[in-house]
């Protein structure tokens, strides 16, 4: 998994992230509605260092890799978050993370080849991972620890379970407009939520369940290559530029 571009910012982030494997615990994001402990929230609000036992969500683990690599200096990131009121409310936090990552600049996987340090978005921003180049990635999946993986295997995992697939489709409905100029069309939106209703009200294998699932898959197929996997290219310099610019303007 070693990068062939060891002098690039992205490769330095990957090197730092490799040392995180097997550590950290997945948990709800900062400002979560359950008020569950979150390592980044504790760092920003109280100055408590993020430890290897800290709970983070998927994108926060990628930020931690950036901080540990030095490509996203912790002191600057924390100051930016504090001065921009990032932890004032969950909706503000989500908006600031979207801005920081440059999610609007993401492009479909089919249009690029991921390089070390690129950021990978699955179904809007339902899940976020760090590319190690090609099909490889590092990520913090739900109820697990930071680990190695592959883009294809993760996509297969999502589609192998109807409930997991539905949750990611629902995530795409809620976040595609923040990562592209291709929001989920209303007719596809309706089919996705019909599928959710069918799962709640009928059994797999029943006529209603199977017909609703088939209609949803047909509707989603028209846009799935736009939303299944998207890549944010060369994000680290842009992230640091954004932070430093905002800090200078705040002086």
Main-chain phi, psi angles of 40, to 5 degrees: -70, -40
- Sheet order of strands, 107-108 included: 107-108, 229-232, 119-122, 127-133, 136-139, 147-150
**Residue 18, both tokens:** 């490799």
**What pLDDT, on the 0 to 100 scale, is given for residue 249?**
80
Percent of the chain with pLDDT over 70: 96
Structure confidence by residue, pLDDT tens digits, 147-197: 999 999 999 999 999 999 999 999 999 999 999 988 899 999 999 999 999
**What pLDDT, on the 0 to 100 scale, is given for residue 13?**
97
Whether 109 contacts 123, CB under 8 Å:
no
**What pLDDT, on the 0 to 100 scale, is given for residue 7?**
57
Q: Helix, strand, coil shares of the chain as percentages rounded to 5?
A: 55, 10, 35
Q: CB under 8 Å to 148, separation ≥6 — which residues?
A: 1, 21, 132, 136, 137, 138
CA–CA gap between residue 128 and residue 229 (Å, rounded): 10
Main-chain phi, psi angles of 127, to 5 degrees: -145, 145
**Which residue from 60, 236, 234, 49 is spatially nearest to 146, judged by alpha carbons?**
60
Write the DSSP symbol of residue 104.
Answer: G
CA–CA gap between residue 126 and residue 184 (Å, rounded): 14
Name the E strands within 93-217: 107-108, 119-122, 127-133, 136-139, 147-150
**Residue 228, both tokens:** 């299944």
**What pLDDT, on the 0 to 100 scale, is given for residue 233?**
97
Structure confidence by residue, pLDDT tens digits, 197-223: 999 999 999 999 999 999 999 999 999
Structure confidence by residue, pLDDT tens digits, 84-129: 999 999 999 999 999 999 999 999 999 999 999 999 999 999 999 9
What SS3 class is residue 133?
strand
**What pLDDT, on the 0 to 100 scale, is given for residue 158?**
98
pTM score of the predicted model: 0.94
**What pLDDT, on the 0 to 100 scale, is given for residue 225?**
94
Average pLDDT over residues 118-143: 97
Distances (CA, A) of 193 to 158, 172, 187, 198: 17, 12, 10, 9
Whether 247 contacts 79, CB under 8 Å:
yes
Taking the CA of residue 88 as centre, how many other CA atoms within 13 Å lie in the half-sphere pointing to its CB?
10
**What pLDDT, on the 0 to 100 scale, is given for residue 248?**
80
Q: Are strands 55-56 and 25-26 parallel, antiparallel or unpaired?
A: parallel
**What pLDDT, on the 0 to 100 scale, is given for residue 4?**
42
């Amino acid at each position: 998994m070693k990068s062939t571009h060891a002098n690039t910012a992205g490769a330095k982030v990957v090197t730092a992230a490799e040392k995180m494997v097997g550590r950290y615990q997945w948990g709800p994001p900062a400002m979560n509605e359950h008020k569950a402990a979150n390592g980044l929230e504790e760092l920003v609000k109280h100055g408590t260092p993020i430890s290897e036992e800290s709970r983070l969500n998927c994108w926060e683990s990628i930020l931690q890799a950036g901080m540990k690599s030095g490509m996203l200096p912790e002191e600057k990131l924390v100051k930016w978050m504090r001065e921009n009121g990032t932890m004032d409310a969950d909706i503000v936090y989500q908006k600031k993370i979207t801005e920081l990552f440059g999610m609007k600049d993401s492009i479909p996987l089919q249009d690029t080849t991921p390089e070390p340090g690129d950021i990978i978005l699955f179904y809007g921003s339902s899940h976020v991972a760090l590319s190690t180049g090609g099909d490889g990635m590092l990520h913090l999946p739900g109820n697990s620890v930071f680990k190695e993986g592959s883009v294809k295997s993760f996509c297969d995992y999502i589609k192998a379970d109807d409930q997991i697939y539905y949750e990611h489709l629902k995530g795409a409905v809620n976040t595609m407009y923040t990562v592209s100029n291709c929001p989920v069309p209303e007719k596809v939106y309706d089919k996705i939520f019909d599928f959710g209703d069918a799962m709640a009200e009928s059994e797999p294998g029943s006529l209603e369940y199977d017909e609703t699932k088939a209609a949803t898959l047909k509707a989603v197929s028209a846009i799935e290559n736009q939303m299944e996997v998207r890549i944010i290219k060369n994000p680290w310099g842009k992230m640091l530029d954004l932070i430093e610019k905002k800090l200078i303007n705040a002086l």
